Structure 1
Amino acid sequence: MKTITLAHGNGGQENNELISKVFYKAFKNDILDKSEDAAVIENGNLAFSTDSFTVSPLFFNGADIGKLAICGTCNDLAMMGAKPKYLTCSVIIEEGLDKRTLDKIVKSMKEELEVNGAVVVSGDTKVVPKGSVDKIFINTTGIGQIQYKGISSNNITSEDTILVSRDIGAHGATIFASREGIDMNTNLKSDCASLYPQVKALIDSGIKITALRDATRGGVSAVLNEWAKQSNICIEVEEASIPVSDEVNGICELLGFEAMALANEGTFVLAIKNEDAQKALEVLKQTNETASIIGSVSAEHIGKVVLNSAWGTKRFLELPTGELLPRIC
């Protein structure tokens, strides 16, 4: 790796290489080594995470960069069983940005903060010359109070069942269609949403949760591959059980994408104790009818994800490579 390419931001293989060889190498410590969606600190009582947002276009069907900036960080906290509490907001604004655009973005952020019961308590603003950034980039950092301790992607075993909270790939497909001006005359829209209410419902129902992860860049494929390596397991996925909408399937068939590798912003993957899997599915279906049990854990091919087709064939589901959609979030 001599230079940084767009593929290094894909959430897949190249992105993992960049993080491990540059940032993990420089900042190595026990908390960072766990590679969770958010750092667990203060004796397991707090979750801490940060994220930056550069999505293009700024506004798209179902959300905008403002809503995305709150959902993204709050969802990372929720994936560790934490209720989002306090956020910071930093923005880099290109000179010439219409104030009405900025007002609309900030309004979306305010509304999503209310969904999470969180507040922005600090921030920073920079304005840079035209051409230095594309309109506006946003960073949010969040702290959450952990409500359910012990969630970790390093502890998944054969006693767990793999679920997904809804149909996959809607955000990636929406961004691509919007960016390329594709009008499919459908209801396709981003899945961008705050996930803490669903996590709270699982906790309140007494579900035994092993791991949670929102399937953002790199999609469900990246999550499952990361889990397989982190927990030293094989994850076997039933292809017929993966929920994909007709609209997303249409985009994938048109452009040669794989839905499992498309980004999501309101979809998460769960590892739930086998005895609670059906109960967890019932809780998830209260929000999204398309929630599904998609796989199990085995020792068949350690560190790998196996996709079982409806015709009895098997293939490895690899970590995404290359950059299908830069600036997806």
Structure 2
Amino acid sequence: MHGVFGRVLCSVLQVWRIRGDLMERVLLSHGGGGTMMEKLIEEVFADAFDNEYIRAMEDAALLFGNITLTTDSFTVKPLFFPGGDIGKLAVCGTVNDASMRGAKPLFLTAAFIIEEGFPVEDLKKIVKSMAEAAKEAGVKIVAGDTKVVEKGSVDRIFINTSGIGVLYEGANVSIKNAKPGDIVLISGTIGDHGMAVMSAREELQFDTPIFSDVAPLNGLIEKLMTLGEAIKVLRDPTRGGVAEVLYEISKMSGVGIKIYEEKLPVKESVKSACEFMGIDFLHLANEGKVVVVVERDYAEKALEIMKSHEYGKDAEIIGEVNDSKLVTINTIYGTSRIVDRPIGELLPRIC
């Protein structure tokens, strides 16, 4: 338990090391979603690489009218965790990022950076997991690269995957599309991945085992896209969790969002673990969930579609968009408060 609380405290202490408007060093918190990662992207990468695709700040770039391109790197620790491993995570993460633009993912690339001495049997397990996840998602891994570095130069294995997809007909999905009156849904229970990885890393034991939700969401998204332009925003709440996604939508669309605590789907095991450790489940990473913003008149239909799919059976309507420019939550006690935005990841190396 000391390790968990120690890392949370370190994340807070790192914020105190800010000098003026700039950080002197890159910190773990810069890679975990939230305000610190946003600051790093804006002040270092966005200015240097400035173009219309970077400025869009989407999960996938939209090229040539209907082609999407996305890339992601995976450094999760431990490599194998309840419900998945780094291989399944790499494929599903990139498939999901392509899907978040309203696109059908088609092809992936996979690049490996491997530490000298890494067990070949573990590598075979990871590659097999990737192949199985790609088969489930209906995508092909068509190119790759392998680098082996000296022992100690990388922590066992890192994987980068990139993905190409094609927009579904009638799709017009963007993080800038939310409007007051729209409805917010989520496809299932919150925080499963973050708590599963945390429990595996810290060797925590719970009465009810917690498994990662890592899964390819393209099948669910394909069904949702039959609603066409009524689907306004799709975002997978990975690093920084649901809270960070809501803040991103609020900022990029220039709107406010109100959610309802009683409507948030959370497994009792995850909720109990969060209460015990003093963690907000809205900040925990998810790897098989999607936050959806849909036109009000189509909200019930969207919910019905999601519940009909294996990866959306626990879907719920959790809130609505307004013009307040704030992200708030109506609590079970009848009060309202601003949702805390994460500063950095509670636990680094979560994906």
The TM-score range, normalised by the shorter chain, is: over 0.9
Question: What is the aligned partner in structure 2 of residue 298 from structure 1?
Answer: 322
Describe the superposition over 1:124-167 as per-residue Cα deviations: whole angstroms up to 9, x where unpaired: 10001111111100000110011142100101101410000001
TM-score normalised per structure 1: 0.97
Matched residue SS, 2:70: strand
Describe the superposition over 1:186-209 as per-residue Cα deviations: whole angstroms up to 9, x where unpaired: 131000000001001112366720
Name which of 243, 246, 251 aligns with 1:229. Answer: 251
Question: What is the aligned partner in structure 2 of residue 62 from structure 1?
Answer: 83
Partners of 1:46 and 1:146 within 8 A in 2: yes
Name which of 35, 40, 65 aligns with 2:62. Answer: 40
**What is the identity, as a one-letter code, of the residue corresponding to 1:95?**
E
Question: What is the aligned partner in structure 1 of residue 26 from structure 2?
Answer: 4
**What is the identity, as a one-letter code, of the residue corresponding to 2:274?**
C
Task: Give 4+ residue runs of structure 1 displaced > 6 Å after superposition.
Answer: none
Q: Does 1:21 align with 2:43?
A: yes
Query: Hey, which of these two has a bigger chunk of helix by percent?
Result: 2
- For 2:267 and 2:118, the matched residues in 1 are separated by 36
Partners of 1:94 and 1:131 within 8 A in 2: yes
Name which of 116, 120, 125 aligns with 2:137. Answer: 116
Matched residue SS, 1:122: strand
Deviation at 1:312, TM superposition (A): 2.2
Cα gap change, 1:167/1:8 in structure 2, threshold over 3 Å: closer, same or farther?
same
Deviation at 1:114, TM superposition (A): 0.9
- For 2:189 and 2:123, the matched residues in 1 are separated by 31
Matched residue SS, 1:212: strand
Cα gap change, 1:163/1:177 in structure 2, threshold over 3 Å: closer, same or farther?
same
**What is the identity, as a one-letter code, of the residue corresponding to 2:139?**
A
Q: Does 1:140 align with 2:161?
A: yes
- Structure 1: gaps (5+ residues): none
- For 2:295 and 2:173, the matched residues in 1 are separated by 12
Cα gap change, 1:207/1:281 in structure 2, threshold over 3 Å: closer, same or farther?
farther
Matched residue SS, 2:279: coil
Partners of 2:115 and 2:148 within 8 A in 1: yes
Deviation at 1:322, TM superposition (A): 3.6
- Structure 2: gaps (5+ residues): 1-22
Matched residue SS, 1:124: strand
State, as a whole percentage, how many aligned pairs show the same letter.
47
- For 1:42 and 1:215, the matched residues in 2 are separated by 27
Describe the superposition over 1:264-288 as per-residue Cα deviations: whole angstroms up to 9, x where unpaired: 0001100011011011111111233
Question: What is the aligned partner in structure 2 of residue 182 from structure 1?
Answer: 204
Question: What is the aligned partner in structure 2 of residue 264 from structure 1?
Answer: 286
Name which of 215, 224, 229 aligns with 1:202. Answer: 224
**What is the identity, as a one-letter code, of the residue corresponding to 1:71?**
C
Matched residue SS, 2:200: helix
Q: Does 1:321 align with 2:343?
A: yes
- For 2:82 and 2:226, the matched residues in 1 are separated by 32
Name which of 73, 98, 102 aligns with 1:81. Answer: 102
Cα gap change, 1:18/1:206 in structure 2, threshold over 3 Å: closer, same or farther?
closer
Matched residue SS, 1:154: coil
Name which of 157, 169, 192 aligns with 2:179. Answer: 157
Partners of 1:225 and 1:318 within 8 A in 2: no
Matched residue SS, 2:206: coil
- Give the paired residue count: 326
- For 1:290 and 1:269, the matched residues in 2 are separated by 13
Question: What is the aligned partner in structure 2 of residue 107 from structure 1?
Answer: 128
Matched residue SS, 2:214: coil
Deviation at 1:3, TM superposition (A): 0.7
Question: What is the aligned partner in structure 2 of residue 273 from structure 1?
Answer: 295
Name which of 276, 284, 289 aligns with 2:306. Answer: 284
Deviation at 1:81, TM superposition (A): 1.2
Q: Does 1:166 align with 2:211?
A: no
- For 1:187 and 1:176, the matched residues in 2 are separated by 12
Cα gap change, 1:205/1:151 in structure 2, threshold over 3 Å: closer, same or farther?
closer
Deviation at 1:122, TM superposition (A): 1.3
Partners of 2:178 and 2:232 within 8 A in 1: yes
TM-score normalised per structure 2: 0.91
Question: What is the aligned partner in structure 1 of residue 331 from structure 2?
Answer: 309
Deviation at 1:181, TM superposition (A): 0.4
